Amino acid sequence: MHLSLTELGQWWLNGIFHDGRRYTVFAIAVWFTLWVVLRRLIRPRKIREATPPARQLVLELMFSLRSIAVYSTVGIGINLGERAGLYPMSGAAQHWGWAWFVVAAVAMIVAQDAYIYVVHRWMHRPRWFRTFHRRHHKSNNPSPFSAYSFDLGEALLMVGFVAVWPAIFPTPWGVVDIFMFHQIFRNTLLHSGYELTPARRDGRPWFDFLTTTTHHDLHHAQAAYNFAPWFTWLDRWFGTEHPEYQARYAATAQRPMRARPEPDRDLVEA
C-alpha cells in the first residue's frame, strides 16, 4: 500500500500526540498529587531529604519528549510492518479470546522485565554508559519526569522491544496498549521519590516480588545495583539487588504519616 509523505507525517504526529499525552498525564499527575497536594501528609515517606531543582524537571521533560519522538518514528515502522504482513502471529491472536489476551499481557510485561534487566546491565558497562545511559543517570535524584529522560540510543533500545516482541510472540494489538499503560504508570511511580508500597509487620513490602520506589531509587543513587524495572526476581537470582535494600525500604515505609522524617544522609545527592 502506497503512503504519501503527508500520510506518514500524520502518523508520526499522531504517535507523538498519543504517547506524549500518556506521558504528560501520568508524569504531571504523579508530580502534582505527590509533590504538591499530598506533600505534607506523605512527607515521612520521602526517600531523600533533598528535592530535585526545577531546572532538572524541565530538562527531564524535554528529553522525555525527544524520546517520545523516537517512539513515534519506530511506531511508523511497526504500522508499516503490520501492513506488510510482518506480524502474522499478532493478527491471529486477535481472535483467541480474553484468556489469551490476559496471558499475552502478562507475558509481554515479564519478558520486558527480563529484556530491560539484560540491556540495563549492558548499558552500565563503561564502554557503553556514556553513549546509551548517561542522560538517565543525570537524574541522580529522580522525579516523575525522569521516566523517559533517555539518550537517543537508550530510547531506541526501549522501543525496540515493542517492535520485536509482537513478531515473535502472538500478542493481540490491544495488549500493547495495556503494556504501555503499565510501564508508564510503574515508571513514574518508581521515579517519584516517595515510598508508597505498604510494609508488612516484618518490614518487607507486600508483594515483595514487585520493585518499589526505594528499589529503583537506590539504583539512581548507587548504579551498580537494582537493574530490573518491574520485578525483584532477576536482581535476587543474579546477586545484583542492593544489600541494604530491605533495610532502606523498611526505614522509609514504616515511618508513621505526618511525622517529619530524619534525613537519610547516605541517599542525599552529593
For residue 131, give the C-alpha cell. 553513549
Q: What single string gives the DSSP state of each residue in 79-108? A: HHHHHTT--HHHHHHTTSHHHHHHHHHHHH
**pLDDT at position 60 over 80:** yes
Contact (Cβ atoms closer than 8 angstroms) between residue 78 and residue 163: yes
Q: Which three cell numbers stand for residue 106?
A: 502478562
Over residues 61-76, mean pLDDT = 92
Give the model's pLDDT for residue 270: 34
Q: pLDDT tens across 165-210, in order?
A: 999 999 999 999 999 999 999 999 999 999 999 999 899 999 999 9
Instruction: Give the per-residue pLDDT at 22.
Output: 85
Helix (H, G, I), strand (E, B) or coil at 171: coil
Summarize pLDDT for 130-147 with one digit per residue, the tens: 999 999 999 999 999 999
Q: What's the pLDDT score for residue 19?
A: 79
For residue 192, what is its C-alpha cell?
A: 517519584
Nearest-angstrom CA–CA distance, 69 and 11 = 12
Residue 3: the pLDDT is 65
CA dist., res. 211 & res. 186, Å (int)? 9
Q: What is the DSSP letter of 157?
A: H
Which tens digits make up the pLDDT trace of 147-170? 999 999 999 999 999 999 999 999
Give the residues across from 121 on adjacent strands. Answer: none
Proportion of the chain above pLDDT 70, given as a percent: 92
Q: 46 - beta bridge partners?
A: 194
CA distance 37 to 237: 39
Is the distance from CB of 78 to CB of 196 less than 8 angstroms? no
Q: Read off the DSSP letter of residue 141.
A: S
Cell of 160: 525496540
Closest by CA to 187, choosing from 124, 237, 113, is 113
| Band (267; pLDDT cuts 50, 70, 90) | very low
Give mean pLDDT, residues 42-47.
Answer: 95
What digits encode the pLDDT tens for the residues 233-254?
A: 999 999 999 999 999 999 999 8
How many whole angstroms from its chain centre is CA 119?
A: 14
Give the model's pLDDT for residue 28.
Answer: 94
Confidence check: pLDDT of 70 > 80: yes
For residue 36, the 8-state DSSP code is I
**pLDDT class for 79, splitting at 50, 70, 90?**
confident
